Amino acid sequence: MQRQDTLLVEREDKTMKEYDILDLYDLAVLLTYERYTREPRFRHAMLIDVARGPEELELFGDIPGSGWDNPAKRHKRVGYVFKVEDIEHDENELDTPETMLPLTIVPPRIEALSVQQLDTIFWQARAHDACYASIALLQFLFKLYEPDQPVRIRLENGHEAIALLHGRLTATYTLKDPKQMVMSVVCHGEPYERAPGIMALKSGTFITGEGDSMPHCVMGFLPIVELSPPGQKTVMLDLASMQFGCLRGRTSLFVLEDMDAFRTRMEGLAESVSGPDMGGPYIPRGEEYWLEDVARRVKRRYDRRETEHWCGHCGAPANRLACTGCKAAWYCDREHQVAAWSHHKRWCAGKKK
C-alpha cells in the first residue's frame, strides 16, 4: 500500500485544507525523551540504592507513611533512592541512564545491575505517578497544531490508522490492588544513621505508591473509518507505561495499541481493572506547565526530522547508526536498535516487499 503523507480535510467552515500527516509513534518517542531527561522531580538525581523485593527494603523502612513497612504490601514494591549532589549543575546537561550513576562510589547493589536494568530504572522512576502529566503534555503539544490535524498511528501489529486530533479523548482505568508499584525517593544530602543500623533520609521528594486503588489515565484516538483497517478500535497512547517496568518483555518506552490489547495489558497489572471512563480535556495543574516547553521542543525537533535524526528507541539525537534496511531509522547504538526492532520491523522499507 502506498504510504499517504498528506490528507485533505474538510474543516468546520467547509473549506478544504491539505495537511501533512503527523506520525504519532515518532512524536511519542520524542515526547518521552524530551520530558524524562528534564523531569523536575528527578533533575540531576543519581541512583544510590535500589530495593527489588522484601529483603532489600530495610533502607526504606524509616520513611514515614511510605507503606514500605506494611508486610502485606511489601512484595509488591520496588523502590529506588536517588540523591541530588549539592554541587553546581549544568542546566544544559540532560539526565540520562548514563548520568544517573554516582560519580565516585557505586554501591554494590547498583553495580550488580545490567545496563538494561539501569535503563529500566531510569524510565520507570520518572514515569511513576506521571500519567496525568502525560495527558497535559499531549494537550500542550496538540495545542501547537490545528484541531483537525491528522495523525498516523503505526501499530505494533503492522496496521496503520489515521485519526484527527479533535477525535481524541482521555480514558481512565482504575487498577484495584496493583501487583507492583514503584516508590522513589529523591533526597538532597546524605542519608544519615538515625538509630544503629537504621538509615534515614533527609528532606526530598517522596513519590508514593501505597494506595490500594490507582487511576491510570491515557489518551485515546478515534480512527477515521475510511482510512483505517476494518473494525479498528480506539487506539490508546500510554506515555507513562514504563512506571510498571518493561511490560511482558516489551522494550518500548511507551505503549500505543488498540483498546482491547491495552485492556488486557492493564489486567495483567492489577487484581482487577475497571473502566475506561472516557473524558474530555484534562486541565493541567500548575506544576505541569513546564511541559509546555517540552511540547515546543518536540515540535521543533519533529519539524527538523529530515536533517536532525533521533534514536527510534529513546529519542536522543542520533546520527551514527542507521538501519541498513531502510537508512531512514536511526539509533544511539546496537542495543537501542534491537530494542526498537519489534516495532520497526513492521515499518522498515527495507524489510517490506
Q: Supply the DSSP symbol for 91.
A: T
CB atoms < 10 A from the CB of 2, how many? 4
∠ CA 161-338-260, rounded to 5°: 35
CB-based contacts of 183: which residues, under 8 Å, 6+ apart?
60, 66, 67, 68, 77, 78, 79, 80, 128, 207, 208, 209, 210
Among 164, 183, 311, 340, binds Zn ion (CB under 5 A): 311
**One-letter amino acid of 191:** P
The CA–CA distances, whole Å, from 139 to 178, 199, 283, 288 equal 27, 42, 9, 11
Mark the segment that binds Zn ion (CB under 5 A) among 165-173, 204-212, 280-288, 345-353.
345-353
Mark the segment that binds Zn ion (CB under 5 A) among 83-91, 131-139, 277-285, 331-339.
331-339
Dist CA 326 CA 160 (whole Å): 18
| Residue 266, C-alpha cell as written in the block | 492493564
Mark the segment that binds Zn ion (CB under 5 A) among 2-10, 73-81, 221-229, 324-332.
324-332
Question: Residue 253, interface with Zn ion (CB under 5 A)?
Answer: no
Question: Residue 294, interface with Zn ion (CB under 5 A)?
Answer: no
Mark the segment that binds Zn ion (CB under 5 A) among 57-65, 121-129, 144-152, 335-343.
335-343
Dist CA 257 CA 240 (whole Å): 14
Least distance between Zn ion and beta carbon 261 (Å): 24
| Residue number with CB closer to Zn ion (122 or 282) | 122
Cα–Cα nearest to 100, from 36, 23, 9:
36
Question: Residue 332, interface with Zn ion (CB under 5 A)?
Answer: yes
Q: Outline where 155-218 has alpha helix (H).
A: none
| Residue number with CB closer to Zn ion (232 or 337) | 337
Least distance between Zn ion and beta carbon 90 (Å): 21
Question: Residue 118, interface with Zn ion (CB under 5 A)?
Answer: no
Q: Please give the torsion angle defined by the CA atoms of residues 84, 90, 96 and 101, in that order, rounded to the nearest 10 degrees.
A: -40
207 by DSSP, 3-state: which?
Answer: strand
Least distance between Zn ion and beta carbon 96 (Å): 9
| Residue number with CB closer to Zn ion (122 or 262) | 122
| Residue number with CB closer to Zn ion (23 or 85) | 23
Place of cell 545491575: 113
| Residue number with CB closer to Zn ion (112 or 115) | 115
| Residue number with CB closer to Zn ion (186 or 298) | 298
Mark the segment that binds Zn ion (CB under 5 A) among 48-56, 219-227, 294-302, 304-312.
304-312
Among 329, 330, 337, 343, binds Zn ion (CB under 5 A): 329
Dist CA 332 CA 312 (whole Å): 8
Among 85, 174, 325, 335, binds Zn ion (CB under 5 A): 325
Least distance between Zn ion and beta carbon 352 (Å): 9
Least distance between Zn ion and beta carbon 322 (Å): 8
Among 151, 181, 236, 314, binds Zn ion (CB under 5 A): 314
Cα–Cα nearest to 237, from 22, 21, 24:
24
Give yes or no for a cis peptide into 276 (omega within 30° of 0): yes
Mark the segment that binds Zn ion (CB under 5 A) among 11-19, 128-136, 207-215, 325-333.
325-333
Dist CA 201 CA 156 (whole Å): 43
For the chain, the straight-line distance linking the first and the last C-alpha, in angstroms and rounded, comes to: 10
Contacts with Zn ion by CB under 5 A lie at 311, 313-314, 316, 323, 325-326, 329, 332, 336, 348
